[in-house]
Chain A
Amino acid sequence: GAGVSQSPSNKVTEKGKDVELRCDPISGHTALYWYRQRLGQGLEFLIYFQGNSAPDKSGLPSDRFSAERTGESVSTLTIQRTQQEDSAVYLCASSKPGQGNTIYFGEGSWLTVV
Chain B
Amino acid sequence: KQEVTQIPAALSVPEGENLVLNCSFTDSAIYNLQWFRQDPGKGLTSLLLIQSSQREQTSGRLNASLDKSSGRSTLYIAASQPGDSATYLCAVRDPTGGAQKLVFGQGTRLTINP
Q: CB distance A99 to B42 under 8 Å?
A: no
**Using a Cβ cutoff of 8 Å, how many contacts connect chains A and B?**
57
Q: Do the beta carbons of B106 and A48 come within 8 Å of each other? A: no
Cβ of A14 within 8 Å of any chain B Cβ, yes or no, is no
Closest 10 CB pairs of A and B: A99-B31, A105-B44, A107-B43, A48-B100, A43-B104, A45-B101, A105-B43, A99-B99, A108-B43, A42-B106
Which B residues lie within 8 Å of A28 (CB)? none
**A103 vs B107: C-alpha distance when bound (angstroms):** 17
Question: Considering the chains assembled together, what is the distance between the CA atoms of A105 and B100 in angstroms?
Answer: 14
Q: Which of B15-54 contact A (CB under 8 A)?
A: 31-32, 34, 36, 41-46, 49, 51
Q: Does residue A50 face the partner (Cβ distance < 8 Å to B)? A: yes
Q: Give 23 A-B contacts (CB < 8 Å), ordered by A residue.
A: A4-B43, A33-B100, A33-B101, A42-B89, A42-B104, A42-B105, A43-B102, A43-B104, A48-B100, A56-B101, A91-B44, A93-B44, A99-B31, A99-B32, A100-B51, A101-B49, A102-B46, A102-B49, A103-B102, A104-B46, A105-B36, A105-B46, A108-B42
Chain A residues with a Cβ under 8 A of chain B: 4, 6, 31, 33, 41-43, 45, 48, 50, 56, 59, 91, 93, 99-108, 110
Pairwise interchain contact B106-A56, C-beta atoms closer than 8 A: no
With beta carbons under 8 angstroms apart, the residue of B32, B43, B98, B100 that contacts A91 is B43
Within the complex, the shortest CB–CB distance from A38 to chain B, in Å, comes to 12
> B97 on the interface (CB 8 Å rule)?
yes
In the bound complex, what is the Cα–Cα distance between A45 and B98 (angstroms)? 12
Task: List B contacts of A106 (CB < 8 A).
Answer: 43
Interface string of B80-114 (1 = CB under 8 A from A): 00000000010101000111111111110000000
